[in-house]
Chain A
Amino acid sequence: MHTGVDADSDRGPVRHLYVHVPFCRHHCGYCDFVTAVGRLSEHSGYVDALLVELGREEHLLRSDTLDTVFLGGGTPTFLESDTLARLLRSLPPGREVTVEANPETITPELCEVLLAHGVTRVSLGAQTFQPELLATLERQATPEIVTGAFTTLRQSGMANLSLDLIYGIPGQRTEQLEHDVRVALELAPEHVSVYELEAKPGTRFTMAHGAELTRQSDQLENYMELATQGLQAGGYRWYETANFCLTQEGDARDLRSDHNLAYWRGKDYLGLGVGAVSTVGEQRWKNAASVSGYVSALANGEPPVRSNEHVNERLRMWERAMLCLRLDDFLEEDVFSDVLDPQGVERMAVRGLLERDGRSIRLTPRGRLLGNAVTIEVLGEPGELGGSDSATCR
């Protein structure tokens, strides 16, 4: 199973497109994505700007069907359905087109719009099925709305659904997480992402719940293991640290997220919209977070404010190795010999945190739970070359 992690990203036009829609009805306390609350009046102008940016960067993209298009947020489905339809219509076609959605935005009408515009996959932010924990997260949905949204999507004919779960919520008990996993299994989505709640220092959320998180920290440490075991027992393949896809007998589909696999395999990708990151060749850039700045720059025929980073070949190789160690794919030692520390590899193998198949390596389940620590051992220095942020420029 020496799948597709190459030393070189395939040169040539970019095959993966990410589009960021920052708008949300409410900015949930724990969320650190670039979001903007409400601003219904700005939605259309923002989509205009997105399309202008697309126009400016289109030359980087493959001219026919892209491999993947991913519409993330924020809440892309919070856009007025006309606006969303206009955006989807204007994006290049993709073999896998994913849209992120919040449960409370899902209606049969929305599903129609999505299906009519080539969306093949919906990623639904369920997070948890516990009402009080949803409230803690400041989510707008109740458990009934979450399961209802899933059913609506299914009934509309959306064949590839992904569900996001979060563990490590302040106050979350073990049995509550077990319950969440059970409900997820009952819904039988094609794909599940499970994230640990990251309480960033200095945020509103940490201010409110930090003490509780500290108190719980010992208990929370087991939650990732609990979730991965529960999902695997339910027939899911743990193909990336935080991601699972359904594998069933008689179902030949590879239900991994192609778009996200592109990141993990270190492919080039173009990101549009506020806060979006692109990596093309040795260049990586990130658009600034301000919606108004983004809209006005593009309206004035200028590029959005960006910060640039030079990621040279070796650094990209290093990153590719780092990302690949998150997958259940094997990584070929010979191909990555420049960035691997053979002694570290040996140490981790002895500890049972890494397994070998000939000249290829991957982390064992326990190794994956300790992914950061193992990566530090296995990889050499990223190197002084590149990696420095240059000044923000236009």
Chain B
Amino acid sequence: MNLERIRNFSIIAHIDHGKSTLADRILELTQTVSKREMRDQLLDSMDLERERGITIKAQAVRVEWKGHQLNLIDTPGHVDFSYEVSRSLAACEGALLVVDAAQGVEAQTLANAYLAIENDLEIVPVLNKIDLPQARPDEIANEVADLVGDDASSVIRISAKTGEGVADILDAAVELISPPSGEPEAPARALVFDSSYDQYRGVIAFVRVVDGVFHGGEGLQAMAAGTTFEAEELGFFSPERTASETLTAGEVGYVVTGLKDVRRLRVGDTLTTAGRPATEPLPGYKDVKPMVFSGLFPTDSDDYPELRDALERLQLNDAALSFEPETSTALGFGFRCGFLGLLHLEIVRERLERESDLDLIVTAPTVAYLATTKTGEKVEVHKPTDMPLDALLIEEPYIRATIIVPKEFVGSMMELAQDRRGTFGHMEYLSEERVLLTYDLPLAEIVLDFYDQLKSRTRGYASFDYELIGFQEGELVRLDVLLGGDTVDALSLIVHKDRAYGRGKALVAKLRKEIPRQMFDVPVQAAVGSRVISRETVKAKRKDVLSKCYGGDVTRKRKLIEKQKAGKKRMRQVGSVEVPQEAFLAVLNLNENGK
């Protein structure tokens, strides 16, 4: 296809602002999918995506519009997946910025729009849901126009639900977005912007061809990894995989590589042909680094090998997921996993439980710390018990948070940010009603319940996004929990020293309630180093026996014992103390105010 007739663009939108619905309408309008085949959120192929109404994996689909080839690259909207967004954007020349006409610009929209602008993408502003009674199209159009530095009249007003205005978008895409620039005659180069794994066909690379032409059956090379393979098949999505002879400069499509190991073809790598290789790779992406870590342990220790297999399977489609074996005295064998953020953790956990039928204990998420030891060595710490007790210096990751709230919540937002060790950045009025705040905060303060707090304090009106801004020194200490005198490794936390007391007290109080009474007193303690800062006791039970037991009761009594025995098996043993699995979740929802 002639470059002039190709347009590559993605859709940027906040969750629930109608991105997937718009994609559905575009597929319909361009007759890529017949009415009969149509279903909601067609591009979101995972059950989880449909259920939650979110996009997790990027998708690319080719449609025809008035003699042009439009490649629509659907991207995830959540902050955790912004790396996917940036990858997708690199494959595009333009982006549709979709904003809900009732909700207005949200923090994520802002972040992704800025990302697109930074990448020199042409922005097509779109106001969706104009059919809603509570829509404020004029006001929101102004917000959007301010954001992209355009005139409010240039904002296309549509209803993805009814289809109104969708054709205007496609026309605008053809008109406004530049055709891809590339050298059709040069040695072939394509950017791998995502990949998926097919059990039978191996790694399938999603590519944007920049220069030259690729043919099916041709020998290919991944320039960074040095991997060579044969293009078993290539083609485009329509929206199913549709094989074609070639993929030419400017086009978006897929390459079936037959590779069985995802590590041999990383997202961000450049493909070229073995016969006439390019000399320079395309600019790639920086590797995404997981910043949130959590231990995943099977409830039933026999499931350990299955958990490993399941994680490996997930990793095939989720390059950002990292894991390494972890052994906990309390929880046994499991994996310490690295995630991009909390939603990522949540999704991985849910996919593991759902797709592999595993029951998991997930320990409290922690962030990556940098500790400088006495010998001057700098070590990265991914779990609290690895934190050297004699570290000279501990640095923790900081983020810059962008928060958009209705003005009446500014006070309570500031309070929350302050409470979480935030440093105020700036504040501006997006409109008369809505205020944008920025704060620099330790990531650790975000991973536990910041988002929940944010939502509850603003009755759900706040939106929030963040980017990592680097490491900063913090006055941090390791808080350990002891049960019956034994440290429970799975419950250790790294906290700011001013918080240690409050956290320790709340944690101990919570655990006292979660741990069933045993045959002996169980002291529950929180300690920083050797200093105990809080202590409570789970009193021994004084009676646990079936009082009546005659000839007719024997079977019942036996079954009761069997049941109690089974219940005991589900408990985790910490020294001689039996701890129910739920107790390990106690650290996840701690409220220091006891509310």
What residues make up the interface of A, taking CB atoms closer than 8 Å to B? 18, 194-196, 198, 221-222, 224-225, 241-242, 260, 263-264, 269, 271, 275-277, 279, 284, 286, 309, 315, 318-319, 322-323, 326, 347, 351, 353, 368-376, 379, 381-382, 387
Contact = CB atoms under 8 A, between A and B. Distances in A.
B547 A263 contact: no
Given A370-B545, A371-B544, A275 B552 contact: yes
Contact of A242 (B520, B547, B561): B547
Given A263-B554, A372-B564, A196 B547 contact: yes
Given A198-B548, A277-B551, 18 more contacts: A194-B547, A221-B541, A221-B542, A224-B543, A224-B547, A260-B550, A263-B549, A271-B551, A286-B552, A319-B558, A322-B558, A322-B561, A326-B549, A369-B543, A370-B542, A376-B564, A376-B568, A381-B565
A284 B548 CA distance: 19
B517 to A, nearest CB: 10
B510 interface: no
A195 B547 contact: yes
B519 interface: yes
B541 A373 contact: yes
Contacts of A368: 545
A372 B546 contact: yes
A279 B520 CA distance: 37
Given A221-B543, A369-B543, A369-B544, A319 B552 contact: no
Contacts of A353: 519
A242 B547 CA distance: 5
B558 A371 contact: no
Given A376-B561, A381-B565, A387-B558, A370 B544 contact: yes
Interface string B515-548: 0001110000000000000000000011111111
Given A322-B557, A347-B576, A372 B552 contact: no
Interface of B: 518-520, 541-552, 554-555, 557-558, 560-562, 564-565, 568, 576
A198 B558 CA distance: 17
Nearest to B557: A322
Contacts of B547: 194-196, 198, 224, 241-242
A279 B564 CA distance: 24
A382 B562 contact: yes
The 4 closest A-B pairs by CB, nearest first: A371-B545, A196-B547, A277-B552, A242-B547
Contacts of B555: 277, 284, 309
Contacts of B520: 351
A323 B545 contact: no
Contacts of B552: 271, 275-277, 286
12 contacts: A18-B551, A198-B547, A224-B543, A241-B546, A260-B550, A315-B558, A370-B541, A371-B544, A372-B561, A376-B564, A376-B565, A387-B558
Contacts of A225: 542-543
A274 to B, nearest CB: 11
A372 B576 CA distance: 17
Contacts of A371: 544-546
Contact of A351 (B519, B545, B551, B568): B519
A372 B541 contact: no
B544 A372 contact: yes
Contact of A370 (B543, B557, B558): B543
Nearest to B552: A277
A377 to B, nearest CB: 8
Contacts of A351: 519-520
A245 to B, nearest CB: 16
B554 A241 contact: no
B519 A323 contact: no
Interface centre among A326, A372, A379 (most CB of B within 10 A): A372
Interface centre among A198, A222, A375 (most CB of B within 10 A): A375
Nearest to A367: B519
A224 B543 CA distance: 8
A18 B541 CA distance: 35
A374 B520 CA distance: 12
Given A372-B560, A379-B561, A279 B544 contact: no
B171 to A, nearest CB: 67
Contact of B548 (A222, A242, A382): A242
